[in-house]
């Protein structure tokens, strides 16, 4: 069996649980680590980005043997994580963005908000359940899953805040001209997996793929240009940013497992009070925490066109 598949099967296994001792945990790296080492990020023009710890305190790493792969260990403040989680659940699934629900449930959703429908006491059970059927939402150039293409006509403006965050991350690892043009927001539950694939539909195959995770921890596999290469495994905890660029941009990757962490240990946890910092119950983060008790969200940002490239005429 191909090495990538073997590793995927191993980490997906429920019984007996696999040995996780080879999974890289970036919260526990020391200077002598055999596989990864610290990385000094490029200086930024802005020192502090809203919702992030000061740029100079970001903990970034690179892999000694995988050029183009970078990791930034949760640089978000708890409030910053809460902001992005709300964006992913309350805003990004909304029209004009496209979601997996559009094909089968457009009559039920119409222009309504799946998150609000889930919380609304007057919703039917079917309406409430839609949120749990949400698997992905696309932003900017909307990836067409059937043709595996981006086209000029399937485009809506990319959110400014996510573009700004992505630009700052890309700048830090040496891509100052990065343009966030498309994103896939993935929603996982505890039994979800994402099988081995490469992201090659973009025209630009060098600029970073920026992946930002929230909620439950994933085991992430990163291999090489073919599935014969044995992948490394690493944890993606809430707030972590993982970047594939340059030589590693077209590497196979996968999510074989989501692991449950108790909510009280997650960085965005607000405490059990029903008034938090004087805010009223309805303003608390509790419903989002409750969703994330058994879910994970991943924002996966890409540049589609090469610098200065126009959309190819026959693609639109």
Which one of residues 49, 165, 169, 199 is an interface residue with ligand AKG (CB under 6 A)? Answer: 199
Helix (H) or strand (E) holding 10: helix 3-12
Q: Rounded distance, CA 61 to CA 187, Å?
A: 26
| 171 labeled binding residue | no
Task: List 155's β-bridge partners, or say none.
Answer: 141
Residue 298 makes contact with ligand AKG by CB under 6 A? yes
Rounded to a whole number of angstroms, the distance between the first and last alpha carbons of the chain is 40
| 237 labeled binding residue | no
Q: Which range touches ligand AKG (CB under 6 A), out of 81-89, 100-108, 172-180, 212-220?
A: 212-220
Residue nearest to Fe ion (CB): 199
Task: List 71's β-bridge partners, or say none.
Answer: 61, 242
Token pair for 200: 């090659």
Q: Rounded distance, CA 159 to CA 180, Å?
A: 9
Q: Produce one character per residue of 140-153: b if its CB has 16 or more CB atoms within 10 Å, e if not.
A: bbbbeeeeeebbee
Which one of residues 99, 138, 186, 217 is an interface residue with ligand AKG (CB under 6 A)? Answer: 186
Residue 245 makes contact with ligand AKG by CB under 6 A? no
Residue 199 makes contact with Fe ion by CB under 5 A? yes
Helix (H) or strand (E) holding 182: strand 182-189
Q: Which range touches Fe ion (CB under 5 A), out of 30-38, 51-59, 193-201, 244-252?
A: 193-201
Residue 127 makes contact with Fe ion by CB under 5 A? no
Q: Which range touches ligand AKG (CB under 6 A), out of 117-125, 144-152, 210-218, 286-294?
A: 210-218
Angle CA(142)–CA(148)–CA(153) in degrees, nearest 5?
Answer: 40
When the beta carbons of 101 and 236 are compared against ligand AKG, the nearer one is 236
Q: List the x/- string, 133-172, binding to ligand AKG by CB under 6 A.
A: ----------------------------------------
Q: Rounded distance, CA 90 to CA 85, Å?
A: 8
Residue 300 makes contact with ligand AKG by CB under 6 A? yes
Residue nearest to ligand AKG (CB): 298
Q: Within the chain, what is the greatest distance between any pair of CA atoms? A: 57
- Cβ atoms of 243 and 207 within 8 Å: the answer is no
User: Which residues of this protein are in contact with Fe ion, per CB under 5 A?
Assistant: 199
User: Which residues of this protein are in contact with ligand AKG, per CB under 6 A?
Assistant: 184, 186, 194, 199, 211, 213, 218, 220, 236, 253, 255, 298, 300
Q: Which residues are annotated as a binding site for Fe cation?
A: 197, 199, 253
């Amino acid at each position: 069996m191909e090495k990538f598949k073997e590793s995927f099967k191993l980490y997906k296994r429920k019984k007996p649980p696999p040995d996780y001792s080879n999974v890289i945990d970036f919260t526990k790296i020391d200077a002598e680590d055999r596989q990864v080492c610290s990385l000094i990020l490029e200086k930024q023009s802005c020192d502090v980005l809203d919702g992030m710890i000061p740029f100079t305190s970001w903990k970034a790493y690179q892999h000694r043997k995988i050029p183009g792969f970078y990791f930034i260990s949760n640089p978000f403040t708890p409030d910053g994580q809460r902001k992005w989680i709300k964006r992913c659940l309350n805003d990004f699934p909304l029209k004009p963005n496209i979601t997996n629900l559009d094909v089968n449930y457009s009559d039920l959703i119409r222009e309504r908000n799946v998150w609000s429908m889930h919380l609304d006491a007057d919703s039917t059970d079917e309406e409430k359940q839609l949120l749990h059927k949400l698997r992905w939402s696309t932003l900017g150039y909307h990836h067409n899953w059937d043709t595996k293409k981006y086209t000029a006509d399937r485009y809506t403006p990319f959110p400014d805040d996510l573009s700004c965050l992505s630009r700052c991350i890309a700048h830090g690892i040496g891509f100052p001209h990065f343009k966030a043009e498309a994103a896939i927001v993935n929603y996982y539950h505890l039994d979800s997996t994402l099988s081995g694939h490469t992201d090659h539909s973009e025209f630009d195959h060098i600029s970073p793929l920026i992946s930002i995770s929230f909620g439950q921890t994933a085991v992430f596999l990163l291999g090489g240009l073919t599935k014969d290469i044995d992948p490394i495994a690493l944890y993606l905890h809430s707030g972590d940013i993982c970047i594939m660029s340059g030589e590693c941009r077209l590497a196979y990757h996968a999510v074989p497992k989501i692991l449950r962490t108790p909510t009280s240990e997650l960085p965005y946890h607000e405490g059990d009070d029903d008034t938090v910092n004087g805010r009223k119950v309805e303003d608390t983060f509790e419903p989002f925490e409750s969703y994330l008790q058994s879910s994970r969200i991943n924002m996966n940002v890409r540049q589609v066109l090469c610098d200065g490239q126009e959309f190819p005429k026959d693609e639109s």
